[in-house]
Amino acid sequence: MVSSAARAADCAACAGSCQRTAAAGLVPEKVALVGNPNVGKSVLFGLLTGRYVTVSNYPGTTVEISRGAMILEGRAVPVVDTPGTNGLTPQSEDERVTRDLLLERPCTVLQVADAKNLPRALALTLQLAEAGLACVLCLNMSDEAESLGVSIDVELLSGLAGVPVASTVATRREGVARLRAALRHARVPALHADYGRPIEEAVSQMVPLLPPGPVAARALALAVLSRDITLGPWLRDRMRPQDLARAEEVAAGLARSLREPAALAIQRRRLEAAGELAARVVREGRGALREQASLDALTTHPLWGYPIAAGVLYALYLFVGVLGAQTAVGWIEEGLFGRVLNPAVEAAVRAWSAWDLPADLIAGPYGLFTMGLTYALAIVLPIVVTFFFAFSVLEDSGYLPRLAVMLNRLFWVMGLNGRAVLPMVLGLGCDTMATLTTRILGSRKERRIVILLLALGVPCSAQLGVILGMLAALSWKAAVVWASAVAGSVVLVGWLAARILPGEREEFVMEIPPLRRPCLANLLRKTAARVGWYLKEAVPLFLLGTLLLFAADRSGLLGRLQRALQPVVTSLLGLPAQSSEAFLMGFLRRDFGAAGLFRLAGQGSLDPVQAVVSLVVMTLFIPCVANLLMIVKEQGARAALAVAAFVFPFAVLVGTALNHALRAAGASL
């Protein structure tokens, strides 16, 4: 596997860019952290960079990239933390971002590896070598490896791979100083895999056709031969049409002669080569044979996994729905905004402007500050903060993939796979944000189904808080009727959508990382990053929504809508006429609508059946303005209109059916 001659060839092919970074002994210009998923990259990133970190989405994606700087010998060296990846031929949006970051401009790669799983890491090292990138290899979590009886001959590995190797335990800050020192000696790994005659021939035909880039032509050639379509635009911008056509011919020729997809043949050989190298440096002692730890096995147990999942979701609700949505919102909305900020702003605006219009626009019942900002900052922000913190705990502990395993079959009925658990759970926090994260789903069909289901039947935590409060005043029977009506609707609509919408369900393939204790600093950093995103992306939508409502109110549209809604509310749903106002408000804020019902129930205007019917309709009802605008942004106005046009009559239909069924059965709730 080791061949210095081949390495020299790689370097010559990489258009001079790597000589700069490969020159040992210099402080690197720029460092990128690269590694397989769940190897502790971001914890290490936090240790290396300290406080000055910015998190942004990679352009055109939802993938978060952390950037910071580390001080090396008095110089600030920019560091970027890339999403976990298994290779440079991307299989997901995350992996694509990592590849693009490396393709953008040359940098020194700090590869973080899970010391327990060296063969898998070395398969990636091999690809970095093919790309001609100067690397340092960090064997992280070496304590876990040790306790499993896995020992690695670091000296030998460093010699064979031709790169500095450092063992670390990032969570205990061990080995970081050594790692920083090693960065000066980063080199292109001396690893080389021979892919056999047909592939190697195709590579040598491909190399002269390819444009110069920051990565070596061998890596590019292998990617093109693997039919990596995501490279298409990059190549089209840089290659002459005749070269492009010739490259396509070479790839097609290889596909014909191989009798299996080239990507597979290449990956297979890489894993073989990595396995051979690992076998020379890894010694597995006693205790290496690991049985599934008891708790770990229980979390995906076909029977016990479900109560555990229910318990975790209940804890999530307590933290977000009670602590966030009730306690924290109480302080901030009623206390800070209700008593201090809103009166102050209103007074200031009225003093400044004699006209009603600008004053109302800022501080009226539908004012940008009194409604838009209050809603965004006083009600949703505390929920979002607690939710994202809890969500990061679920993520970092490794529990989310286990939840996906448990719910995979249920989601399968709805044309989805277990991965959809992420946006669906996120929807319990904020449907608007969950709608955005549907981008992680593999197919267009799944994205559309999840967006529809989020809009239909996943109550956000603000709404859920009010609904549960109202149900608590009724009876457990009422709660059961409400929950089954909503859950039944979601499953039914999902099932129908899976059959009606064109396209395919993506097959479920998910890595299950070991359960781990999350690292607090990392949790806080992640939460801060996501809250920052919320402030930047979602708050403008809340303001826009408020503006629309303000305009509707001023033009008299709001009143007319309310009157138009009345017959539906009274005759079909059997509810009092005043409740139509609550439904309209529910369009702006789902919880506000529920709060309107809460007030009606408190006044004794709703009997138990009416209360349950109105809650079901409110839950299924049209998504809030912000969510609808997000659907427009993600799927286009037509899709948003289609969602609204379906959800509204469907909610009324379910409510009508429930009303008549409960009345006919003479149910006492």
Partner 1 sequence: MRPAESERIEEMCEEIWSLTEMGDNTVRAVVSGSKLSRADEALEALTGQGLARIQADRAFLTEQGQVIARAIVRRHRLTEVLFREVLSLEENVTESTACEMEHILSSQVADSICTYLGHPPRCPHGKPIPRGACCEVLRKELRPLVVPLPELEMGKEGRIVFLTAAGQQTLERVASLGIVPGRAARLLQRAPSVILEAGRTRVAVDPEIARQIFVRRDPAV
Q: Which residues sit at the interface with partner 1, rule CB under 8 A?
A: 86-87, 89, 91, 114, 116-117, 119-120, 123, 256, 258-261, 263-264, 267-268, 271-272, 275, 291-292, 297, 300, 302, 305, 401, 404-406, 408-409, 412, 417-418, 507-514
Dihedral angle of Cα 35, 39, 45, 51, to the nearest 10 degrees? 150
Give SS3 for 555.
coil
Distances (CA, A) of 235 to 103, 213, 238, 535: 11, 10, 5, 36
Q: What angle do CA 85, 91, 96 make, to 5 degrees?
A: 65
3-state secondary structure 109-165: EEEEEEHHHHHHHHHHHHHHHHCCCCEEEEEECHHHHHHCCEEECHHHHHHHHCCCE
In a 10 Å sphere around its CB, with 0-12 CB exposed, 13-18 middle and 19+ buried, how is residue 132 labelled? Answer: buried
CB of 547 to partner 1, least distance (A): 43
For partner 1, the closer CB: 122 or 549 = 122
CB of 31 to partner 1, least distance (A): 24
**Cα–Cα dist 452/528, whole Å:** 29
What six digits make up the tokens of 384?
Answer: 């979002």
Q: How far is the CB of 39 from partner 1 (least distance, A)?
A: 11
Amino acid residing at 382: P
User: On the CB side of 163, how many CA atoms lie within 13 Å of its CA?
Assistant: 31
* DSSP, res 31: E
Distance in Å, CB of 409 to partner 1, minimum: 5
Structure tokens at 25: 């002994």
* Cα 462 to Cα 256, 319, 376, 430, 626, distances in angstroms: 57, 13, 12, 8, 14
Nearer to partner 1, 73 or 291 (CB): 291
| Closer of 264 and 357 to partner 1 (Cβ) | 264
**Structure tokens given for 226:** 């693997």
Query: Is the CA virtual torsion 59, 110, 227, 502 positive or negative?
Result: negative
Tokens matching residue 179: 């790692």
SS3 76: strand
Instruction: Tell me how far, at minimum, the Cβ of 269 lies from partner 1, in Å.
Output: 9
